[in-house]
Amino acid sequence: MNEASNDVSRESTHCSGTVDAQVSPRGTLELLSQEEVNRLDSVRNTGLYELFRRCALAVLNCDDTSDDAAEVFERYADFNIEIEQRARGIKLMLKNAPACAFVDGVILNGVRDHLFAVLRDIVFMSGEPYEMAPESSNGQGNKDSLARSQTSVESPGEVSNLVFNILRNAGLLRPRMPPKLVVCWGGHSIGREEYLYCKAVGYQLGLRGLDICTGCGPGAMKGPMKGATIGHAKQRNREGRYIGISEPGIIAAESPNPIVNHLVILPDIEKRLEAFVRIGHAIIVFPGGVGTLEEILFLLGTMMDEGNASVSLPLIFTAGAPSRAYFGEIDEFLVSTLGEQVRRYYTIIEDDPQAVAVAVRDAMSKVGANRRESRDAYYYNWLLQIPAEMKRHFLVSHASMAELQLRRNLPAAQLAINLRRAFSGIVAGNVKESGIHMIREHGPFELHGDPDIVSALDKLLRGFVAQSRMKLGGKTYNPCYRIVGASPARE
Q: What's the pTM?
A: 0.87
Averaged pLDDT, 10-28 = 75
Q: What is the pLDDT of residue 142?
A: 35
| Phi, psi dihedral angles at 108 (to 5 degrees) | -65, 140
* Averaged pLDDT of the chain: 85
Band of residue 6 on the pLDDT scale cut at 50, 70, 90: very low
CB 359 within 8 A of CB 347: yes
pLDDT in tens, 454-491: 999 999 998 888 888 876 555 677 889 998 854 444 43
Band of residue 2 on the pLDDT scale cut at 50, 70, 90: very low
Please check the confidence at residue 36 and state whether its pLDDT lies above 90.
Answer: no
> What domains can be seen in the chain, in order of their start residue?
3-125 (3.30.1850.10), 166-374 (3.40.50.450), 388-483 (no CATH)
The closest of 152, 368, 166 to 247, measured between CA atoms, is: 166
CA distance 333 to 24: 50
Q: What is the pLDDT of residue 67?
A: 64
Angle at 103 between CA 101 and CA 108, to 5 degrees: 50
Q: What is the pLDDT of residue 43?
A: 75
Query: In the chain, what percentage of residues exceed pLDDT 70?
Result: 87
Please check the confidence at residue 403 and state whether its pLDDT lies above 60.
Answer: yes
Band of residue 211 on the pLDDT scale cut at 50, 70, 90: very high
Band of residue 278 on the pLDDT scale cut at 50, 70, 90: very high
Please check the confidence at residue 378 and state whether its pLDDT lies above 70.
Answer: yes
Angle at 474 between CA 473 and CA 478, to 5 degrees: 90
String of DSSP letters for 39-61: HHHGGGGSHHHHHHHHHHHHHH-
Q: Based on the number of CB atoms within 10 Å of its own CB, is 352 exposed (0-12), middle (13-18) or buried (19 or more)? A: middle
pLDDT in tens, 75-106: 888 999 988 877 667 889 999 999 999 999 89
> Which residue(s) pair with 348 in the sheet?
317
Averaged pLDDT, 149-160 = 63
Q: What is the pLDDT of residue 13?
A: 57
Written as one letter, the residue type at 371 is R
CA distance 326 to 463: 9
Q: What is the pLDDT of residue 129?
A: 54
The closest of 67, 196, 12 to 470, measured between CA atoms, is: 67
Cα–Cα distances in Å, from 209 out to 11, 204, 472? 35, 9, 33
Averaged pLDDT, 285-290 = 94
Averaged pLDDT, 309-315 = 94
Which residues have CB under 8 Å from 472's CB, separation 6+? 10, 12, 65, 66, 67, 188, 189
Q: What is the pLDDT of residue 224?
A: 98
The closest of 66, 122, 75 to 97, measured between CA atoms, is: 75
CA distance 374 to 124: 34
Q: What is the pLDDT of residue 71?
A: 77
Task: Report the chain's terminal Cα–Cα distance, integer Å.
Answer: 27
